[in-house]
Amino acid sequence: MATFRKLPSGKWQAQVARKGVRRSASFDTKRSAQDWAARQEYLALNQSADTDKSTLADLFDRYARDESPKRRGARWEVIRLSRLARDPLGQVRVSEVGPSDLAAWRDRRMAEVSAGSVRRELALLSAVFNVACREWRVLDQNPVSEIRKPPPTPPRDRRVSDDEIELLVAAGGGDLQSKTGRAVHAFLFAIETAMRAGEIARLTDADVDRTARVAHLALTKNGSARDVPLSRRAIDLIDALPAQKAGRALFGLSSAQIDVLFRKARDKAAIADLTFHDSRHEAITRLSRKLDVLSLARSVGHKDVRMLMVYYNESAQDLAQRLD
């Protein structure tokens, strides 16, 4: 059914809605709006059979093919969209999808993974449906907005002790010619700088100004460049690395290799419940003793200083020692 209304600008807006598909456009005259609406209704009627056959798996495949490559997390998106397409959710027709389908998927997924993982996958689903609504015009509304999301998991507050650092170095062998040794070395560097594994993996000699003691990161998680101040200890850790060919990454490891090899050393050292990203908690807590809040936020790349509280994990006992 088509509806028409005159806009304050004097133009006429036509809206056509049929089988969950809504389209609108503005024209100089009402007659033009009526002609467009009639054409859209004709197309909707004659294409409805094909549209009704489309499933969410088709939608996920289109998004993975056309939209994901535009994003930094393309590989992550494609893998998860492929899994979603194989889920019973993928067999739901686009024209029939509703909040109950998403709620059923959420409950199934909650039995398999953490609430944090489900929230991230719901965010991806929401992005798919938003594009389907606003650009592809195959949906009238985003069904994700109609369901309850799992509550966010509490942030980690894991600190790294000096004893654990010694155990990791021993487990890594201390040989920087080995990949495992460099993965542990990257963890030590992360504690000193609060840099993420991906940022460390991309760091080259050209990115480091040893005189100014600054590392330039052209690409960070939030998409903008950042300059990281380096302590003398951080410079020493860089200088201890084996020489690499010009243009090659200083640590000679990918982000995935750092993660896998770090976990291997952690397990060998029999250290429980420690992740590479815990180094960021440790680093920010240590740096908070040296830098004011704004300087710390700039150093670690937080545009919102409230994010520092997620990573600042100093204990009340430690704070009591600083009162005297």
Nearest CA-CA partner of 79 in 60, 100, 51: 60
Nearest CA-CA partner of 56 in 88, 90, 32, 87: 90
Annotated domain spans of the chain? 2-43, 56-146, 162-322
Average pLDDT over residues 261-265: 95
Catalytic residue among 106, 185, 281, 311: 311
**Mapped to the 3 state alphabet, what secondary structure does 85-107 carry?**
HHCHHHHCEHHHCCHHHHHHHHH
For the question of residue 42 being annotated catalytic, the response is no
The two three-digit tokens of residue 189, written as one number: 């560097």
Under CATH, what is the fold of the domain 162-322? hpI Integrase; Chain A (1.10.443)
Confidence of residue 42 (pLDDT cuts 50, 70, 90): low
Q: How far apart are CA 229 and CA 196, in angstroms?
A: 14
For the question of residue 248 being annotated catalytic, the response is no
> For the chain, what percent of residues have pLDDT higher than 70?
89
Whether the pLDDT of residue 48 is over 60: the answer is no
Catalytic residue among 39, 83, 221, 248: 221
For the question of residue 311 being annotated catalytic, the response is yes
The structure tokens 């993965």 sit at: 183
Q: Tell me whether domains 56-146 and 162-322 share a fold.
A: no
Please tell me the CATH superfamily of domain 56-146, with its number. Answer: Tyrosine recombinase, N-terminal domain (1.10.150.130)
For 18-24, which contacts have Cβ atoms below 8 Å and span 24 or more sequence positions? 18/44, 18/45, 18/48, 19/44, 19/48, 19/51, 19/52, 19/95, 20/95, 20/139, 20/140, 21/51, 21/137, 21/138, 21/139, 21/140, 22/137, 22/140, 23/137
Q: What is the mean pLDDT of the chain?
A: 86
pLDDT at 140: 79
